[in-house]
Structure 1
């Protein structure tokens, strides 16, 4: 993992970065004065560099836009990461941290399955000694949590089934000091989690239901925040089989919602947050083998309601429904789920944001939206009128698992709402959690989107 550290910065370092303003730029080396003067005439966010035989002097015209700085960080990685192991950043605290975040996130690589990996040499980002230890520690923990989420999303089902995903959560709990309980198939059967068991019927690998809890000694919230993540470790679509190109071939990413909520509780625990949090992850793969559930089946769910299955590729809502009902036992203040739930969400707003909806009070949505702007993991609130519930009513059961051709992301949310008694926010993260081609510091493949968003929400909404 790329480490951020502080040190006495030296003019002799091989890669040095200065963030400059329009005036009053102190302690700049004489050799870059012409470059500084040239950049000061350009718009904020411009950057350029001088290259010697074995070093780079990089100058960035400061911008108030954090996202521009993160993207510049990714461009710097493209420039120097293969050749050099260290970068020094000369800048004030806030700007240095934002640029370092962009650099560190862009320096992520998923190389586990290459026989001869081409690894970046960059390993350390140095900031000046005036920057606080707590801020540097927090940024390192953010990078660690996002890297973890990216790794599990990028790992194929051949190396990460439901049991192995649960094992990964146990390891995180041991490291960050939060409790983890993993329910195995026999316990899931005894609880009559019909949705999770139905989806799992086509697989030889058993399902798991993971319960992670972080409870500080004196939590600020009287009732816990419950996060629920869709943990479909691979989705073939089941008997409603997906096409392979551009669809099934990326479905190792169908547990990105689980990765987001697990990453968020891991990060909150590392940071010793004062917020009581619980994470629930129902996990399985969805395959057409064995005694796979079929279109036309009627499934009795954990809460006793019945669902007519009309498409086995609408499996995420089946397993989430059981988890959302299970959340009632914790008497939560708020339940948020994160799921790569619908293609409709991607078609509506692309990979640039997640769709959110629900019945929680506006103050929760406002905190989530503001958090999204801070970390640039933006959310777009969709309507959640009761009219959409009729799309999910079955002729032979309480509900059906797909709606009409229209507004599929909303009708899916209304389906899930029927299983939740607490205030509820549904996040469809199908767009930003996976990228087919490289995009700045977000990379390619699993982006880890949702980890920084949910952690920022916890910080912002529950601050004293």
Structure 2
């Protein structure tokens, strides 16, 4: 897909479709009004007929517009001008991306990036436009005998902006969006692959492929024998029930000097979760291939960092394993010794993700991280609390939690903070071990984070992202979303990019 930026008069540019924004009460955007001068008021006349008021998710496609070199003009509703903020702009661009795909046009010129949006510069506007287009273009056809691709896909999109300064910002925004899209697409591909293909070994192979593809990405893989030497009793207990050997994957992006402490991201990589001995019900168990959504997002983030060549040091840790009910599988009531030396009582083998994470959080200490963030499809309770709109963020550092939420807001990948007060720690008491690994039904997302916090006491800046409600969608559009790659990349750019 080719993206370009132009400051030339849109009325004089050839295109399959020219996109113009219209606000409610039939008011053309400023750039639309200027284009209308070339049509001798034709567009205003069309709006006066009442065919388009300007409400969101409405549009009108015009042919043979006088004074316009584009073959068609697409008028798109932008809602109320007073409410046209970052979220509204993102929503309109997503709507337009779908319309352009259905238009069968192979090239288009959009004037939406020229519309002023409160608190959003030309770079961000261009970025959102490209992100929306790339999201719409994504297809997962690896296992189809015939790919489900459009016969006439959009291959070129030009973005109109006001002037030269905006053009430079827009071009930077396009570069950001393309890098992010590369990462999100990788995350979605990995999570969408079936568990008989996307095994822990497959993830290790994909990590090595990134090492080969990018000069400053370096990958190492620990085998189960290495984990035994390290004392990773929690992670190894999970993998015991599977014929697929566990892997502990390290991917590092070295974009800054060696003296700069890295940001470490730990992604839960359960490539299939049957629930183990505490087996899940059959309904929707096929979705448990997505239980490595946290791992997939770490892969996507490393690729996005490499594509954008971010000036930061980033380490991605992926503990990968299957959770299966073999005769050797771990059991409720078992007591495990973790790499930290702490012992835990197993209550439910379907709470396996935190066992992979806890040993990996301890392992991460060797990287002396500035900040450590773990990402996991960890608890169904998170969906009960926040639905499918926001990921949960829990942290012992409120500043870090706020930074992640702000990054999510800007990236259109929202998160919301839940408390992690000491009172919730009481639910993890055990009569037989240092503590239990499950705190019961009440506040399940919070007590899961409380469990993880017991392995992060050496870190001043740690946060946990529960993406159980946001990592994939159900129904007709079932599939991986690639979240929270946008949030994590934006966080790095906001707080760790040295440029």
Query: Across the two proteins, how many residue pairs are aligned to each other?
Result: 456
- Map 1:360-379 to 2 at 5 A: 360=397, 362-379=398-415
- Flag the 1:35–1:48 CA change in 2: closer, same or farther, 3 A: farther
Q: Give yes or no for contact 2:270–2:322 (8 Å, CA) kept in 1.
A: yes
**In structure 1, which of residues 105, 125, 129 is the aligned counterpart of residue 157 of structure 2?**
125
- Please state whether the residue corresponding to 2:464 is helix, strand or coil: strand
What TM-score does the superposition give when structure 2 sets the normalisation length?
Answer: 0.85
Which runs of no fewer than 5 residues in structure 2 stay unpaired? 23-27, 65-69, 115-121
Q: State the partner residue of 1:242.
A: 280
Does 2:396 correspond to 1:391?
no
| C-alpha deviation, 1:290, in angstroms | 4.4
- Flag the 1:14–1:200 CA change in 2: closer, same or farther, 3 A: same
Q: State the partner residue of 2:101.
A: 81
| C-alpha deviation, 1:128, in angstroms | 4.1
**1:227-262 CA deviation, whole Å, 9 max, x = no partner?**
11100011111111111213x120111011111222
Q: Give yes or no for contact 1:39–1:46 (8 Å, CA) kept in 2.
A: no
Q: State the partner residue of 2:241.
A: 202
Of structures 1 and 2, the one with the larger relative CO (CA 8 A, separation 6+) is: 1
| C-alpha deviation, 1:214, in angstroms | 1.6
- Flag the 1:15–1:290 CA change in 2: closer, same or farther, 3 A: farther
In structure 2, C-alpha distance between the alignment counterparts of 1:22 and 1:80, rounded to whole Å: 19
Does 2:463 correspond to 1:461?
no
In structure 1, C-alpha distance between the alignment counterparts of 2:496 and 2:19, rounded to whole Å: 35
**1:63-85 CA deviation, whole Å, 9 max, x = no partner?**
63233333333333433425233
| C-alpha deviation, 1:39, in angstroms | 8.7
**In structure 2, which of residues 188, 198, 210 is the aligned counterpart of residue 172 of structure 1?**
210
In structure 2, C-alpha distance between the alignment counterparts of 1:197 and 1:411, rounded to whole Å: 22
- Map 1:43-442 to 2 at 5 A: 45=56, 47-52=58-63, 56-62=72-78, 64-82=84-102, 83-90=104-111, 91-92=113-114, 93=122, 94-120=124-150, 121-128=153-160, 131-132=167-168, 133-176=171-214, 177-218=216-257, 222-246=260-284, 248-360=285-397, 362-420=398-456, 421-423=458-460, 424-437=462-475
| C-alpha deviation, 1:126, in angstroms | 2.5
In structure 2, C-alpha distance between the alignment counterparts of 1:56 and 1:185, rounded to whole Å: 60
Moved more, 447-456 or 103-112: 103-112
In structure 1, C-alpha distance between the alignment counterparts of 2:245 and 2:188, rounded to whole Å: 24
| C-alpha deviation, 1:51, in angstroms | 4.4
**1:163-217 CA deviation, whole Å, 9 max, x = no partner?**
1112112222332331111112222222221111111111111111011112224
- The CA RMSD over aligned residues, in Å, is 2.6
In structure 2, C-alpha distance between the alignment counterparts of 1:3 and 1:306, rounded to whole Å: 55
Q: Give yes or no for contact 1:203–1:290 (8 Å, CA) kept in 2.
A: no
Q: Give yes or no for contact 1:202–1:286 (8 Å, CA) kept in 2.
A: yes
What TM-score does the superposition give when structure 1 sets the normalisation length?
Answer: 0.91
Which runs of no fewer than 5 residues in structure 1 stay unpaired? none
Moved more, 412-421 or 386-395: 386-395
| C-alpha deviation, 1:112, in angstroms | 1.6
- Flag the 1:289–1:381 CA change in 2: closer, same or farther, 3 A: same
For the pair shown, the structure with the greater C-alpha radius of gyration is: 2
Moved more, 316-325 or 396-405: 396-405
Q: Give yes or no for contact 1:47–1:58 (8 Å, CA) kept in 2.
A: no
| C-alpha deviation, 1:268, in angstroms | 1.9
- Please state whether the residue corresponding to 1:170 is helix, strand or coil: helix
Moved more, 417-426 or 311-320: 417-426
| C-alpha deviation, 1:347, in angstroms | 0.6
| C-alpha deviation, 1:105, in angstroms | 0.9
- Flag the 1:128–1:301 CA change in 2: closer, same or farther, 3 A: same
In structure 2, C-alpha distance between the alignment counterparts of 1:35 and 1:111, rounded to whole Å: 41
In structure 1, C-alpha distance between the alignment counterparts of 2:432 and 2:492, rounded to whole Å: 41
In structure 2, C-alpha distance between the alignment counterparts of 1:392 and 1:39, rounded to whole Å: 63
- Flag the 1:178–1:303 CA change in 2: closer, same or farther, 3 A: same
Q: Give yes or no for contact 1:261–1:454 (8 Å, CA) kept in 2.
A: no
| C-alpha deviation, 1:272, in angstroms | 1.7
**In structure 1, which of residues 27, 30, 33 is the aligned counterpart of residue 35 of structure 2?**
27
- Please state whether the residue corresponding to 1:26 is helix, strand or coil: helix
**1:28-65 CA deviation, whole Å, 9 max, x = no partner?**
45254434667999457464222449964212355632
In structure 2, C-alpha distance between the alignment counterparts of 1:207 and 1:332, rounded to whole Å: 24
In structure 2, C-alpha distance between the alignment counterparts of 1:192 and 1:86, rounded to whole Å: 57
In structure 2, C-alpha distance between the alignment counterparts of 1:223 and 1:372, rounded to whole Å: 23
In structure 1, C-alpha distance between the alignment counterparts of 2:475 and 2:4, rounded to whole Å: 30
